[in-house]
Chain A
Amino acid sequence: DAMVIQNPRYQVTQFGKPVTLSCSQTLNHNVMYWYQQKSSQAPKLLFHYYDKDFNNEADTPDNFQSRRPNTSFCFLDIRSPGLGDAAMYLCATSRGGRGRNQPQHFGDGTRLSIL
């Protein structure tokens, strides 16, 4: 089935040690999003790609970077994770422009823990 796949499902890293989360899609959607969600809070959009165009949200810390080497894959790099970065990270895709009237298709998320 066409889907959005996030790996790994759970990730543990040490304080300050770089970590990369991955997302792949078989939907051939041109927009890919990364969200951070902390317990009982609203998902926070970190950035999105419209095709190869990278769009950073104004309040996304510099510690968070992203790469999209091709249509199918997108990576979230956290350069120096702090304790406050422990969260669920969600990847989503959609067809067409950001948000707009197309639904987003989500992966199952990666839960990141910082030791």
Chain B
Amino acid sequence: ILNVEQSPQSLHVQEGDSTNFTCSFPSSNFYALHWYRWETAKSPEALFVMTLNGDEKKKGRISATLNTKEGYSYLYIKGSQPEDSATYLCYMDSNYQLIWGAGTKLIIKP
């Protein structure tokens, strides 16, 4: 059984601080890695899709990197704002399965 692990499970960050968290996945049969943001009472929103080892993607203050050889992706948030409070989910698309992590719940403290 393939698993995608996200750490930490939850994170409290002071407004204005930068933060990052991890998505770990099995590196065999890798096709793509997706990041989503899920705010309370809303639907999950796609952030990034990454396919190539060494990929870096950026969207405003949020960026992500990908290492397919060692099986991890980092999501970075620079200068956290209250609106960044959400659960951040990743999923890996392998050649055979589509596997989600349980998410990192980010809470921004004013």
A1-21 Cβ-contact flags toward B at 8 Å (1 or 0): 000100000000000000000
* Chain B residue total in the interface (Cβ 8 A): 23
* Chain A residue total in the interface (Cβ 8 A): 21
**Interface check B26, CB cutoff 8 A:** no
Set B42, B49, B51: member contacting A108, Cβ < 8 A: B42
Q: Looking at chain A's contact residues, is the secondary structure mostly helix, strand, loop, or mixed?
A: loop
22 contacts between A and B (CB under 8 A): A40-B102, A41-B102, A42-B4, A42-B100, A42-B101, A42-B103, A43-B89, A43-B91, A44-B100, A45-B100, A98-B93, A100-B32, A100-B93, A101-B31, A101-B51, A102-B49, A103-B34, A104-B34, A105-B46, A106-B45, A108-B41, A109-B43
Other 7 A-B pairs with CB < 8 A, given A41-B102, A90-B43: A42-B4, A42-B103, A92-B44, A98-B93, A100-B93, A106-B43, A107-B43
Task: Give the interface of B toward A (CB within 8 A).
Answer: 4, 9, 31-32, 34, 36, 41-46, 49, 51, 89, 91, 93, 98-103
